[in-house]
Every structure is written in structure tokens, then in C-alpha cells.
Amino acid sequence: MLNVSPRQLEVFVHAAASGSLSGAAARLHLTQPAASMALAEMERLLDTRVFDRVRGGLRLNPRGRELLPLAQELLERHAEFARAASDRGELLAGELRIGTSNTVGNYRVGELLGAFVREQPQVAIRLQVANTEAIAQGVLDHALDVGCVEGTVIHPELQVQPWRDDALVMCAPPGHPLARRRSLQAEDFGDARWVLREPGSATRALGEQVLAQLPPPRSRLELSQTEAIKQAVAAGLGIAVLPEVAVGEAVAAGRLVVLRTPFLRPYLRRKLSLLLHRRKYRGALLEAFLQSL
């Protein structure tokens, strides 16, 4: 019988998350030699390495990637056992790792987390904000417990659950010639300058669909943040497709104008979705979060 201890599993899981033993030691309040000894003993008991030692840190090898979700499940079940055996069985504690794409993380985080945080004040939330592609990869790598993205994600290891609808709008600076027209057609966009999100972003993918309905643009400017795009459009550097929830204040303040493009309406709607790994153990924390939505 293998006698791998919870402490050894904790070092393994946190070393995988941080990419280093020093990171795992800091999270677990251990010395680095103690963390190194725990990992070495676990690998000895398993008679296999779970990391490749690379310059500057650790990288999960195929065996480590296979064992990581099992180690995470064992630790979650251990915590659930302790909670059920205590006098505070109804209280949840621990850490939930949530990844969101930029629109959700910057403009809808209250809708996503508000109810759960109020109901479970003892739970620590670690929120990562990146583009849809990066969040999907984090869920695949078991670095995130759940993702919330606005893009289309198709992968056999990922389960996609719809969360809510999201609308986008086409924006221009107030002085732009297109801003003065009551209704626009595709030919009106000939020779326009565009400001786009970076590849890998769901907003960029939708922007490309919109561009496919229009004449070729004069130029493209790529930026990695919605706020930077808003500033660029307000400065007259081009027009952009942006989440409606992100531009309300700028439109109200007169810094941006929403263009009237009824012919593009089918291309300016999308679903926000939750991403879950099909092999991820859904413990009490994750289930409570999903129920809060």
C-alpha cells in the first residue's frame, strides 16, 4: 500500500501550479528543503518522476499530468471529510481557482462571483483574467477549477455550460463620418481603419466574422486590452467591435458613439459559457459555485 501523505500531495499540487518548489514552499509555509524532501519522497514511493527539472523550475511530465487531477481530488476529499466530521460541517473553506476571459473578468465579475462570495465568506478566490484561449488551456492543464469565457471552445476534454447572453456593438469616435448616419450598410465601411483584439481573444474572433461581411479595411491595429481599444477609438485611430457592457460609460460621456448597424445584428450576439474539465472532481466548493450561478 502506498503511504503518500496529504503533505506530499500538497507539495506536488502547489509545485505544479507555481512551476517551482520555492512557490510551493511559500504557499504551504514550508522551507524549500522540506518541500523538496516531500516531493522526492513521493516520487520515491511512486517509483516515478512527476516533473521534468528544467532551468528555473519544474514542468509536469506526462506521468505528472496524469496524476495531478487525482492528487487534487484526494486533497479535496480529505478536506470534505474533515469538514463533515467537524461541528462546522455546513461551512465551506479552501480555495477556488477561477479563470475568466477579459470581458467577464473586467466587466461582469460581480455577476459571476457576487452571490458565491456572499454565501461562502470563508472561501478564498484566486481569479485569473486572460483571453479565452489561455483560460481554456488553464482548465485543460488543471491549473484552474473552472473557466468563464465568451468565446466558442471545442475540446473533447472540456464540458461547456452556457451561462448568459452577451451583446457587442460597433463603436467609433464622435467625429467619425459614420457616426452621423442613421443607418449603415456594408458598403459604407469601405476603406475603414479598425482596432482589434489580439489573436486568441473571443472578441477578436467575432470581430473577424464582422469584418468578413464588410469591404477590406484600410488598416488594422491590434491591442490586447478592451480599455486600450476604447482609448484608441476615442483618439480617432479606428472603429472597433466591443462588448456592450464595456462601453456604456464612455458612450454616456460622449467619448464613443455606437454605430447603427442592423444588418450586422446576427453577428453581434454571443454566449458566455463555463468551462469544466470532464475529468475534474467536482467537490463541494466547485458544486457550490456552480449552484450560485
| Burial of 53 from C-beta contacts in 10 A (0-12 / 13-18 / 19+) | exposed
pLDDT confidence of residue 88: 59
pLDDT confidence of residue 100: 96
The answer to whether residues 242 and 230 touch, using CB atoms and an 8 Å cutoff, is yes
Model pTM above 0.85: no
Rounded to an integer, what distance in angstroms lies between the CA atom of residue 206 and that of residue 220? 15
pLDDT confidence of residue 1: 54
* Distance, first Cα to last Cα, the chain: 41
Of the candidates 48, 23, 44, the residue with the CA atom closest to the CA atom of residue 35: 23
Neighbours of 290 (CB within 10 A): 14
Q: Which domains does the chain have, with CATH numbers?
A: 6-85 (1.10.10.10), 94-162+272-292 (3.40.190.10), 165-269 (3.40.190.10)
Question: Per-residue DSSP letters for 209-266?
Answer: HHHTTSPPPSEEEEES-HHHHHHHHHTTS-BEEEEHHHHHHHHHTTS-EE---GGGGG
Q: What are the pLDDT tens digits along the chain (293 aa)?
A: 578 999 999 999 999 988 899 999 998 999 999 999 999 999 999 999 999 988 878 999 999 999 999 999 998 888 888 877 776 556 788 889 999 999 999 999 999 999 999 999 989 999 999 999 999 999 999 999 999 998 788 999 999 999 999 999 999 999 899 988 888 999 999 888 999 998 888 888 888 999 999 998 888 899 988 999 999 999 999 999 999 999 999 999 999 999 999 999 899 999 999 999 998 989 889 999 999 99
pLDDT confidence of residue 224: 87
| Burial of 146 from C-beta contacts in 10 A (0-12 / 13-18 / 19+) | buried
pLDDT confidence of residue 85: 77
pLDDT confidence of residue 200: 85
pLDDT confidence of residue 190: 87
